Amino acid sequence: MTGPVAADIAAGGLAADAPLPRHPRFVSLEGGEGAGKTTVLNALREALLHTGAEVVSTREPGGTPLAEQIRELLLHPGDEKPSAETELLLMFAARAQHVRGTILPALERGAWVISDRFTDSSYAYQGGGRGLDPAFIAELERRVVGLRPGLTLLLDLGVAQGRERTRGRDLVFGQTPDRIERERDDFFEQVRRAFLARARAEPERVRVVDASQPAQAVADDAVAILRLFMARSAAEQAS
Ligand SMILES: Nc1ncnc2c1ncn2[C@@H]1O[C@H](COP(=O)(O)OP(=O)(O)OP(=O)(O)O)[C@@H](O)[C@H]1O
Ligand SMILES: [Mg+2]
């Protein structure tokens, strides 16, 4: 992706019929709670740093100081429950800031960007989980975000197993579950189904990793997929 696309985004979005560009140095990690996104992000980061690349690791919601403040509103809103629409728009408000303040500047200076969650999470949580119209989400994505990762790793894990893992971690670190983590199992089943539908719709970009394996095997699979993706991108550039 080159300069004009960033300019299009800054100007308020791409033309209605333009497909969203995928950036070959932008990788996102997706999956439910406790699937191992943060663990895999660290493995990918190490693999990329070994190639001598600059790597920017980031997360959603968040990734800039203002977007992190919006994260706080989303996850710890106090006594007032945000509506599904409020949640969706705050997610995209944070993402608008994240894309312009962190992701595009890093990509434009030649760095790799690895994001712990990105727009696929909105389709899964606010679309699948909360039942909001995916066409509306797509419109926000087109107007507000304007790009997709070149590669998305979907860490797929059963809901019960994900809960076990976050419980283990929260016990160790003394954390309490945030507002979204406190949702019921059927919500997370819908989220999982929506993520898998994203992978079926865009199998070349969204690669499913079996996250029920031991951590090292998950990390090895993820790094192998990244290396193949890099080799393919390099071959495409050369041709
Ligand atoms: N493959 C694995 N097998 C067993 N435990 C794992 C595995 N991957 C990660 N864990 C552990 O499970 C917990 C959750 O992992 P991690 O924080 O990476 O998941 P996450 O997807 O980032 O979760 P969250 O959505 O809450 O941010 C951590 O304690 C981590 O050490
Ligand atoms: Mg995490």
| Nearest CA among 139, 132, 130, 57 for reference residue 98 | 57
For residue 174, what pLDDT band results from cuts at 50, 70 and 90? Answer: confident
| Nearest CA among 83, 150, 154, 144 for reference residue 117 | 154
Q: Is 21 helix (H, G, I), strand (E, B) or coil?
A: coil
User: Would you state the pLDDT for residue 225?
Assistant: 98
| Percent of the chain residues topping a pLDDT of 90 | 82
The model's pTM is: 0.94
Q: Is 208 helix (H, G, I), strand (E, B) or coil?
A: strand
Contact status, residue 117 vs residue 37, Cβ threshold 8 Å: yes
Rg for the chain, CA atoms, rounded: 17
CA 38 to chain CA centroid, nearest Å: 11
pLDDT, greater one: 14 or 80 = 80
Whether the CB of 35 sits within 6 Å of ligand 1 = yes
Whether the CB of 168 sits within 6 Å of ligand 1 = yes
Contact status, residue 119 vs residue 99, Cβ threshold 8 Å: no
Mean pLDDT of the chain: 93
Beta-carbon-side half-sphere exposure of residue 100 (alpha carbons within 13 Å): 17
CA 143 to chain CA centroid, nearest Å: 18
For the chain, domains (ranges, CATH) are 23-238 (3.40.50.300)
User: Would you state the pLDDT for residue 15?
Assistant: 67
For residue 171, what pLDDT band results from cuts at 50, 70 and 90? Answer: confident
Among the residue ranges 25-29, 145-149, 176-180, 229-233, the one predicted with the least confidence is 176-180
Question: What's the average model confidence in pLDDT over 220-229?
Answer: 98
Integer Cα distance of 167 and 107 in angstroms: 35
Shortest-distance ligand to the CA of residue 165: 1
User: Would you state the pLDDT for residue 172?
Assistant: 87
Q: Is 178 helix (H, G, I), strand (E, B) or coil?
A: coil
pLDDT, greater one: 83 or 14 = 83
pLDDT, tens digit (0-9, with 9 covering 90-100), for 83-142: 999 999 999 999 999 999 999 999 999 999 999 999 999 999 999 999 999 999 999 999
Q: Whose CA is nearest to atom 12 of ligand 1?
A: 165
* Strand ranges, E, within the chain: 22-31, 55-59, 112-116, 148-156, 206-210
- Per-residue pLDDT for 1 more than 80? no
Integer Cα distance of 239 and 234 in angstroms: 9
Q: Whose CA is nearest to atom 8 of ligand 1?
A: 36
